Chains A and B, each alone.
Chain A
Amino acid sequence: MVYGVNDMAYLVPPRDARTQSTGVVAGYAQTASRWPAQPLARRPHGPAELTGPRPDALLKTTGGDLAGQGARRAIGQLIDVRVSIVDEGGVPVSGALVEIWHCNAAGKYIHPNDSNDAPADPNFYGAARLAADEHGRIALRTIKPAAYPVPDTDGWWRPPHIHFSVWGRVWLSRLVTQMFFPGEPLNQRDPILNAVADAAARSGCIARFVPQAGDALVYEHQLVVRGRNATPGMP
């Protein structure tokens, strides 16, 4: 992975606002308490913004199998998720560090703040940290997360989704987003997914199902860390 001064300062076509999440989202009350009211300032970019950390030197990677084996296997539909990470020019980000987390097949996260009345799965721990290969790809085996209700809302259920946190080559290419599954009725009315105005950009947040033999359903997905075609950020 090449970081630091080897990355010359470069200009990237800015994101199109319609392809990115809006700050304050109808139906998602917390956004109105947290998104800044003042316009964001535009700043010039130099080495401080156009270099970036090497978190792979600090953070340990885990295995790419969250589903477990045999008697230790998590409950739920086995899935294989193949993700490619590319930069603003469509070039694979080889070695990119990726963090992944999602809830179990009952809609429960392993987290003290999750008050959802759904059972934990003793064989499921929903977090992984992986380094992409030289082609910017990671392979995750896990179980499909369930939908779950959002507390203190009027019947909002999150569609099944997987959280991704990605480091690109520079500080400005940090991406935190969510991947959705095709054909889920809840996708149509999820305030988070629909905070992206552009339909094509929303489609880009939904994984592609790849018909393939085997015991797991296979999905492919691409994450673009920066630039005009950047994947929209999501919390």
Chain B
Amino acid sequence: MTLGPFFPREFAAGANDLARGVQGEAIEITGRVVQADGRALDNLVLEIWQADAQGRFDNHAFHGWGRAATDSDGVYVFRTIKPGAAEGRAPHINFLLLYSGLMRQLHTVMYFEDARDPVLDAVITGRERLVAKKEGPNRYRFDIRLRGEGETPFFDDG
């Protein structure tokens, strides 16, 4: 019971809308985060980092960063724009997870469709779990299971 339960609520509040005043296709990404026994995790912090609609990471008019916390049902929401394809990469959004019981932050990546991509290709099992489900014209679902059957692939960056 360390970071997750006591991470100040206001640190995560108001930072989950990246789309405001930004050019691009506005989308909503939502998902549920669960642990090994399927229990939803409350107040887990997710941070994202993504390219702009042209696949650029150096656009000062688009911060590309956001933070959200899960509610008591384990659900998070981001509003953002669909990133473009950066050189050599399929469109994707980097995710980072922080929570009590996670001794180290967990890195994962969300894709919009399965495609050749050097990071997605580095996943040995479960690459399909990194592809978000399209639920509507501008709505994607990216559920995350930390551990157990159907576990989300995570990355180690040395």
Contacts and interface: CB of A to CB of B under 8 A. Distances in A.
Interface of A: 3-5, 12, 14-15, 20-23, 25, 28, 30-49, 51-55, 57-59, 99, 101, 103, 109-114, 126-127, 129, 150-151, 158, 163, 165, 171-172, 174, 176, 178, 192, 195, 232-235
10 contacts: A30-B100, A34-B41, A35-B146, A37-B148, A48-B57, A59-B15, A111-B9, A112-B9, A114-B5, A174-B47
Given A37-B151, A40-B154, A165-B11, 14 more contacts: A4-B57, A12-B158, A22-B103, A35-B147, A41-B122, A43-B118, A48-B57, A48-B119, A158-B2, A163-B2, A163-B7, A174-B47, A233-B103, A235-B3
A43 B119 contact: yes
Given A40-B154, A44-B118, A176-B98, A53 B63 contact: yes
A46 B5 CA distance: 34
Nearest to B64: A53
A234 B2 contact: yes
- Do most interface residues of chain B lie in helix, strand or loop, or is the interface mixed? loop
B58 A127 contact: no
A38 B130 CA distance: 15
Interface of B: 1-11, 15, 35-37, 39, 41-43, 47, 49, 51, 57-58, 63-65, 86-89, 92, 94, 96, 98-106, 118-119, 122-126, 146-148, 151-158
Contact of A113 (B43, B118, B119): B43
Contacts of A12: 158
B146 A36 contact: yes
B2 A235 contact: yes
Contact of B3 (A4, A103, A163): A163
B58 A51 contact: yes
Nearest to B120: A43
A25 B8 contact: no
B156 A49 contact: no
Given A5-B57, A44-B119, A47-B57, A174 B105 contact: yes
A41 B146 CA distance: 14
A171 B124 contact: no
Leading 5 A-B pairs by shortest Cβ distance: A30-B101, A14-B158, A53-B65, A40-B156, A4-B58
Contacts of B156: 39-42
A113 B147 contact: no
Contact of B100 (A57, A195, A235): A235
A234 B101 CA distance: 9
Contact of B98 (A39, A58, A171, A235): A235
A235 B99 contact: yes
Contact of A31 (B92, B103, B158): B103
B96 to A, nearest CB: 6
B148 to A, nearest CB: 7
A31 B101 contact: yes
Contacts of A126: 8
A38 B39 CA distance: 19
